[in-house]
Amino acid sequence: MENAQLSHGCDLLLPDCTEGGSPCFKAPQVTGVRVQLEMQALWQQFDQLGTEMIVTKAGRRMFPSFQVYISGLDPAADYVLLMDFIPVDDKRYRYAFHSSSWLVAGRADVATPGRMHFHPDSPARGAQWMKQTVSFDALKLTNNLLDDNGHVSVSQMILNSMHRYQPRFHVVYVDPGQDSQLHPHRNFCSFIFPETRFIAVTAYQNHRITQLKIASNPFAKGFRNTDPEDW
Amino acid sequence: MENAQLSHGCDLLLPDCTEGGSPCFKAPQVTGVRVQLEMQALWQQFDQLGTEMIVTKAGRRMFPSFQVYISGLDPAADYVLLMDFIPVDDKRYRYAFHSSSWLVAGRADVATPGRMHFHPDSPARGAQWMKQTVSFDALKLTNNLLDDNGHVSVSQMILNSMHRYQPRFHVVYVDPGQDSQLHPHRNFCSFIFPETRFIAVTAYQNHRITQLKIASNPFAKGFRNTDPEDW
DNA sequence: GTTTTAACACCTAGGTGTTAAGCT
DNA sequence: AGCTTAACACCTAGGTGTTAAAAC
């Protein structure tokens, strides 16, 4: 197993989850789920510099985009896949250009309602989700509570600029049974990849982040230098 | 019901379908299905001129694209949606420029294997299919049996140039039961919209078709005349 | 002579960081 | 001073008919 990549798994027993005094087990459809982050090396490169993600009123895609390879699902069962973003702490940050570092600038602003982003193909069979990489590239980050039409858009995740966030990924088994109440169990699995943490910004602060975005995002090719000494 | 548009329905009894001597009924999940062709007026405009669709080696999209609005599905049941193209006759055609009309040029060439095009979202719930127009815009027409990589591509429909075709649309109910063998019934519905017939070509023959494509397809805007007298 | 192919200019549609102006 | 916004040039990605050459 030389070139093997670490993939996250889902534990069978959840000690913190009890119902009626007895421990609560996960549904068999989610016990063996394994999730692997795509473009992990690139995520780590950004993370080492302190990843920044632009938020705009109209909504901005993430780069790198959140993509996972999933295995261990029940091919015939239905699943909903979704993402959310949780605050890493209750702080507000600002960037000190002279020292090229992030400083705490006070307590967090009032948290926006924690919205869930359903993958647009949800719900779908395990077989469908596993046959190729699942991409959340329709997801957009915004600092606006309403879209241009004054409506909430399902693909827009509302974040506070200058706050730090951790993306989370959830696999939810859709139980077709009517008697699922009688057999309580957790029907979902959550996954956190620490290297996907980022600070939301309205404009890039760290020049190294800007340069790495330009170097790695095909849509920013127009800003690349032919100069080979830059990186 | 003034502005009502005719929609196609699925008959309950299929007289031509018998099993064990008794008539074969449709599964209840497909008996009430109604399908309405989108952009019907545009399709009819093309049909009156004699619709032509380009086929290329790499695959060419249809214009207009085949889009339908579906109702009457069981919201909770699973369906597969697919299309195929059947030869209208066993003839080969050629275009007579002097008379601006299509002439029979002999018997049809050997028919290509009649491939089925599954809508990429298949299978999905009735509720998913009904909530918005279903578009087959990923479908491409080709005159090549293999794609660039030497593989068959699922989105490519193989057609013979200079032959006439009729698109068909099928709604297939995915029966989850294991005992479906014991209760034989037709689990699908087919729909034919005569105005979607066309002749496959490698280059447009009728100039009026070319002009109508240019006038109505946004991607051909570069060829539009500012001259208002053209159409 | 008829049909097919491949390169091409010109579009649609939309994702980038830049920049200057505006906001607080 | 710090942060946000909107217009912008410049890309990616890919769908058009045109055209001239090639194929049959």
Residue B210, pLDDT above cutoff 70: yes
Answer whether residue A78 shows pLDDT above 50. yes
What pLDDT band is residue A12 in, cutting at 50, 70 and 90? Answer: low
Q: What is the mean pLDDT of chain A?
A: 85
- Could you tell me if residue B20 is inside a domain? no
Give chain B's mean pLDDT.
85
A87 part of contact set with chain B, CB < 8 Å: no
Residues in chain A closer than 8 A to B121 (CB atoms): 121
Give the DSSP letter string of B95-109: EETTTTEEEEEEEPP
pLDDT at A86: 95
A1: in domain: no
> Which chain B residues in 133-172 sit with Cβ < 7 A of strand C?
143-144, 161-162
B121 touches chain A (CB under 8 A): yes
B124 CB neighbours in chain A (<8 A) are 124
Q: Indicate if CB(A41) is under 7 A from strand D.
A: no
A208 domain-assigned? yes
Q: Does the pLDDT of residue B8 top 90, yes or no?
A: no
Residues 104-163 of B with CB within 7 A of strand D: none
* Strand C positions closer than 7 A to protein CB: 2-6, 9-20
Query: If you average pLDDT over residues A33-40, what whole number do you get?
Result: 96
- Cα gap A39→A67, rounded to integer Å: 8
Output the pLDDT for position A212.
Answer: 97
B92, exposed or middle or buried, with CB in 10 Å at 0-12, 13-18, 19+? middle
Which residue in B has a C-alpha nearest to residue A78's C-alpha? Answer: B124
Residues of chain B with Cβ-Cβ distance to A125 below 8 Å are: 123
- pLDDT band, residue A113 (cuts 50/70/90): confident
pLDDT of A176 = 77
A224 C-beta less than 7 Å away from strand D: no
- Tell me what pLDDT residue B230 has: 41
Q: Residue closest to D13, CA→C1'?
A: A219
Is residue A12 in a domain?
Answer: no
Beta-carbon separation of A124 and B124 below 8 A:
yes
Q: What is the dihedral of CA B164, B166, B167, B168, to 10 degrees?
A: -150
Is any atom of nucleic acid chain C found less than 7 Å from the CB of residue A208? no
User: What was the pLDDT predicted at A149?
Assistant: 52
pLDDT digits 0-9 by tens, A159-193: 999 999 999 999 999 887 755 555 566 788 999 99
Question: Does residue A229 sit within a domain?
Answer: no
Asked if A217 CB < 7 A from strand C, the reply is yes
A219: Cβ under 7 Å from strand D?
yes
Compute the count of residue pairs across chains A and B with CB atoms less than 8 Å apart. Answer: 4
| Cβ of residue A31 lies below 7 Å from strand D | no
pLDDT at A17: 46
Quote the pLDDT of residue B7. Answer: 66
What is the rounded distance in angstroms from the CA atom of residue B182 to the CA atom of residue B127?
28
**What's the CATH number where B143 sits?**
2.60.40.820
The DSSP bridge pattern shows strands B91-96 and B78-87 to be: unpaired
Q: Model pTM greater than 0.85?
A: no
SS (H, E, C) A159-214: CCCCCEEEEEEEEEEECCCCCCCCCCCECEEEEECHHHCEEEECCCCCHHHHHHHH
The confidence score (pLDDT) of residue B112 equals 77
* A227 in a structural domain: no
Range of the domain at B122: 26-217
Nucleotides of D under 7 A from a protein CB: 2-6, 9-20
Work out the minimum CA distance from B43 to partner chain A, whole angstroms.
30
Residues 6+ apart with CB under 8 A from B169: B35, B66, B68, B81, B82, B83, B190, B191, B192, B193
Q: Distance (Å, rounded) from C-alpha A4 to C-alpha B195?
A: 55
Q: What is the pLDDT of residues B136-168, one digit of tens each?
A: 999 999 998 765 455 557 788 999 999 999 999
Residues in chain B with CB shorter than 8 Å from the CB of A121 are 121
Task: Work out the burial of residue A83: count CB atoms within 10 Å of its CB; fewer than 13 is exposed, 13-18 middle, 19 or more buried.
Answer: buried
Q: For residue B80, which residues of chain A lie inside 8 Å, CB to CB?
A: none
Chain-chain contact of B121 with A121 (C-beta, under 8 angstroms): yes
Residue A166 lies in a domain: yes
Q: What is the pLDDT, as a whole number, of residue A207?
A: 95
* Chain A contact present for B123, CB below 8 A: yes
Q: What total number of domains does chain A contain?
A: 1
Is the CB of A60 within 7 Å of strand C? yes
Q: From the CB of residue A149, how many other CB atoms can be counted at a distance below 10 Å?
A: 7
pLDDT tens readout for residues B46-88 = 999 999 999 999 999 999 999 999 999 999 999 999 999 999 9
- Evaluate whether residue A17 is within a structural domain: no
